[in-house]
Structure 1
């Protein structure tokens, strides 16, 4: 089978296509024929050795796959061979999604409803679950919210989920006029281009000078300080960008002095075997009902993975980038 191996850190060109034996599933496992695999920004950071954790190399990246069950391991009776499934490898502590065949824990596979494309299922896994749990960790009902990276995979879904959860005012921040237009089309009341030095004043103006009740910071770095600057007294800064925390003591002291709170967000500890399947089924159903639109950032054959990484790394893309096989 074809797989994409990371043997050294560097640019997109270090991702190499290799031939590997098709693995055999062990007890409790199923072999999945990959039809779509998600590409995530944290994988760009892993490839560059800029993530919060340095991975052991060599490795095959990829933590979310949709495909077809081909072989069941000893003692496994479900899901049946031929079933279309979502394989949330990230919840299983696994990787290896950038490959034509993938091993997964059979008990954590989620059957895809009829009519849901493999590419859509992949886009609703890491990004969909992240957006859903963000609205649970900092509930937007009746509040004004700021969503950064609003045209990205998480941001584009979070706009819609915050709106459906009853947000009073949804302000989207994105990196171009086109991305701002996309955010408005998804339900944002206001969209600001943070390539514009005056974007923070636009956010404050939209809230009557009060600031937002919740800032969902999906970017980190210097962006976190700017998001903090438009946060209302007693507001919440929800920080999701692992490995890119740059708030200093002065900013944190100012936060405390304004009765504001900083919340960290890590998806994996929030997932349980009990809620994972139900949450994915909820997201899949919303999409099929037309209540949650997935924005495609492009589909790339597995052999063009370097191009997919380059597009994501450039920040030119919107929505979800997917590999196909």
Structure 2
């Protein structure tokens, strides 16, 4: 089978296709023929050895895939054969391998897909969908004004919609181009601001009557964080997602104390259990299949062009989910 195996760290050009034996499902496992594999920004960081943890090499990248159950191991229900399934590898004991023609996963983690849901859309609802869902459960937006960073991205585009469904009074989308802001508005944002502009925090305060937002969901980090603080209301909450890079000064932290503002960290994996994973993914899949949740697929690349997919993400030119297909 074909796979994208990371043998050394470097730029997108090192992502070459290699041939290797098709894996065999062990007891309790299912073999999935991959029809779509999700591409995530943190995988680009891993490739360049800029992630929080240096992965051990060699490594087949990819933590989420969707496809057809083609073979099963001992003890697995035969009814799973031929089923359309999601393979949330990130929640398994072998959390990688999605950039390939085939992947194996514990059958207990394979989640059935509704017929109306595409394989590409299913990949967008795994890491990104669960992140958006749990961000809102950790910091509920009901009755509050919220700011969503990277609002046209994989997580942000879902956050905008789910925050509205959860009863947020005002959802303000922040993104880096007019096209991205238009996308966020089409998904239900009440207002939008370009965080490439110097005065965008003032614009957010204007939308909220000069008060600022109650919650900032910051999945971007960097320069956005300090400016987002200017748009945060007294007693507001700044939520840090795990992958953002944050550099708040001591003075900024002290100012937050004076305004009774709080910081909250967020990391997805510690919140997941096998039962909860299946239930939450099934909920997201059904919402998308019924068109109650719009999944934005930004770009589709053949597996041999995985480097181009990484380059798109690193250049911040993507909207929605980026996927690899056979």
> TM (normalized to structure 1)?
0.98
Q: Partner of 2:243 in structure 1?
A: 242
Q: Partner of 1:205 in structure 2?
A: 206
Other structure's SS at 2:147 match: strand
Other structure's SS at 2:16 match: strand
Q: Partner of 1:84 in structure 2?
A: 84
- The answer to which of 150-159 and 241-250 deviates more is 241-250
Q: Partner of 1:16 in structure 2?
A: 16
- CA drift of 1:248 comes to 2.6
- CA drift of 1:243 comes to 5.7
* CA spacing shift, 1:127–1:165, aligned 2, 3 Å: same
Q: Does 1:275 align with 2:276?
A: yes
Other structure's SS at 1:173 match: strand
- Which segments of 5 or more consecutive residues in structure 2 lack a partner in the other structure? none
- CA drift of 1:249 comes to 2.2
Alignment of structure 1 residues 139-150 onto 2, 5 Å = 139-150=140-151
Other structure's SS at 1:26 match: coil
* CA spacing shift, 1:7–1:284, aligned 2, 3 Å: same
How many residue pairs match? The answer is 325
Other structure's SS at 1:151 match: coil
Q: Partner of 1:307 in structure 2?
A: 308
Q: Partner of 2:108 in structure 1?
A: 107
- CA drift of 1:241 comes to 4.1
Per-residue CA deviations over 1:101-142 (Å, capped at 9, x if unaligned) read: 101011111011112111111111111111111110110000
Residues 91 and 271 of structure 1 are in contact (CA less than 8 Å); yes or no, is this contact kept in structure 2? Answer: yes
Alignment of structure 1 residues 88-167 onto 2, 5 Å = 88-93=88-93, 94-167=95-168
- CA drift of 1:78 comes to 5.2
* CA spacing shift, 1:146–1:243, aligned 2, 3 Å: closer
Cα distance between partner residues in 2 of 1:22 and 1:57:
19
Cα distance between partner residues in 2 of 1:258 and 1:41:
33
Residues 79 and 106 of structure 1 are in contact (CA less than 8 Å); yes or no, is this contact kept in structure 2? Answer: no
Q: State the Cα RMSD in Å.
A: 1.1
Cα distance between partner residues in 2 of 1:171 and 1:241:
21
Runs of 4+ aligned residues of structure 1 deviating over 4 Å after TM superposition are none
